[in-house]
Amino acid sequence: MIIVTKPEATEDQIQHIIERIEEWGFKTDVSRGEQRTVIGVIGDEGSIREKPIAAIAGVESVTPVLKPYKLVAREFRGGTNSVVKIGDVKIGGPEIVLMSGPCSVESKEQITSIAQEIKKAGARVLRGGAFKPRTSPYAFQGLGVEGLKLLAEAREATGLPVITEIMDTKHLEVIEQYADCLQVGARNMQNFSLLKEVGRSKLPVMLKRGMSATIKDLLMSAEYILSEGNFNVLLCERGIRTFETYTRNTLDLNAVPVLKAETHLPVVVDPTHGIGLREHVASMALAAVAAGADAIMTEVHNSPELAKSDGEQALLPHEYMDLVARVRKVAAAVNRAL
Ligand code: PEP
Ligand code: MN
């Protein structure tokens, strides 16, 4: 349910609306615009509808959200964009944010030197997996807590905030100690107990689209996180499975404008997993920026042939530099900056 206040509503009236809604046992999410304030009401839609909200002074309109997803719906924040912070880096504002790093954290030397290289190139967030979801149980599973510590050391050395994947609710506490943002991977997009748990975290969450999930499925999964109180959610398009086998996945750039229209949440594109072929990652990064992405996540490795995961799709640092220079130009063409 969305309440829009009258342009002439006073601050006291707005406060009174919020207090009344909360007295009725619902939560509120307030977005202040130039003219009007939009108050999103969080709770069971059915019982909210029975309350005489329109009778409160200062209320202009009361509108139910008719979509199956409510809190993530664009209307819920009066058509404005949410800005989500990873450390001090803002995603969803006028600037496009570059997030980068290796698929997996492998050693102190590896993660720190890659972090320094990507920072020099213009990246603002460091990625790196410590708990890795691998198709084979015999493949490298990540360094676990040791990997988290190395990420924190790389943050110390560069000032870049850190995003890393959470695969299991039992790791939330330790990841919260070391990281600045949680990543829920494609394979866990519909792990509803994990979604609820990260919904109770203080850290922002980047939710990656499942490989056979529809856009609506992605939004419904995000709704789980917001419904637990965590509104700091980024949605990430990372490619879906189609009949095409030339590329690792099919990067569904259709999702970018559709998500921007459907939700207030920032949209990240991961062209690396989307296409899976190093030589084509840059082209898809450019296309993602043109399509309206708020952030681009790419994998970079200083020695891809020795990488313990995803070496074939990782860019070398000099290739990443080149990508950033080209992204800057496309960003300018769509009135964004890096
Ligand atoms: C990753 O980011 O390294 C990863 C495993 O991504 P996804 O969940 O999209 O496959
Ligand atoms: Mn990877």
Separation CA 170–CA 197 (nearest Å)? 10
Closest ligand to residue 300's CA = 2
Tell me the pLDDT tens digit for each residue of 217-266: 999 999 999 999 999 999 999 999 999 999 999 999 999 999 999 999 99
**Distance from the alpha carbon of residue 129 to the mean position of ligand 2, in angstroms:** 8
Atom 1 of ligand 1, nearest CA residue: 103
Does residue 45 register a pLDDT over 90? no
Q: Is 103 in the pocket of ligand 1 (CB under 6 A)?
A: yes
Instruction: Indicate which atom in ligand 1 lies nearest the CA of residue 183.
Output: 2
Tell me the pLDDT tens digit for each residue of 298-322: 999 999 999 999 999 999 999 999 9
Does residue 44 register a pLDDT over 90? no
- Point out which residues pair with 300 in neighbouring strands: 315
Q: What is the DSSP letter of 162?
A: E
Instruction: Indicate which atom in ligand 1 lies nearest the CA of residue 127.
Output: 2
> Mean of the pLDDT values across residues 271-300?
98
> Mean of the pLDDT values across residues 86-93?
98
Atom 9 of ligand 1, nearest CA residue: 186
Distances (CA, A) of 332 to 55, 258, 291, 292, 329: 47, 22, 13, 12, 5
The answer for 144, left when phi > 0, alpha when psi is -120 to 50, beta otherwise, is: left
Query: Mind listing the domains of the chain with CATH numbers?
Result: 2-64 (3.30.70.1140), 84-333 (3.20.20.70)
The bridge status of strand 2-5 relative to strand 37-42 is: antiparallel
Pocket test for ligand 1, best of 162, 208, 275 (most atoms within 8 A of CB): 208
Two tokens at 309? 């995961």
Give the three-class secondary structure for 82: coil
- The answer to whether 11 and 5 have CB atoms below 8 angstroms apart is no
Q: What value does the mean pLDDT of the chain take?
A: 97
Q: Is 301 in the pocket of ligand 1 (CB under 6 A)?
A: no
Give pTM, 2 decimals. 0.96
Which amino acid is located at 184 in the chain?
Answer: V
> Mean of the pLDDT values across residues 197-201?
98
Q: Which residue has the tokens 């009174």?
A: 16
Atom 6 of ligand 1, nearest CA residue: 185
- Best CA proximity match to 106, nearest among 115, 96, 118, 94: 115
Q: Is 129 in the pocket of ligand 1 (CB under 6 A)?
A: yes
Residue 270's pLDDT band (cuts 50, 70, 90) = very high
Q: Is 238 in the pocket of ligand 1 (CB under 6 A)?
A: yes
pLDDT at 148: 98
- Point out which residues pair with 91 in neighbouring strands: 84
Which amino acid is located at 113 in the chain?
Answer: S
Atom 8 of ligand 1, nearest CA residue: 185
Q: Which residue has the tokens 């300018």?
A: 332
Instruction: Indicate which atom in ligand 1 lies nearest the CA of residue 187.
Output: 8
Tell me the pLDDT tens digit for each residue of 159-174: 999 999 999 999 999 9
Tell me the pLDDT tens digit for each residue of 46-70: 888 899 999 999 999 999 998 999 9
- Letter string b/e over residues 108-122, b meaning 16 or more CB atoms within 10 A of that residue's CB: eebbbbbbbbbbebb
What protein residues have CB closer than 5 angstroms to ion ligand 2?
103, 310
Q: Which residue has the tokens 């809190």?
A: 71
Instruction: Indicate which atom in ligand 1 lies nearest the CA of residue 209.
Output: 9
Q: Is 308 in the pocket of ligand 1 (CB under 6 A)?
A: no
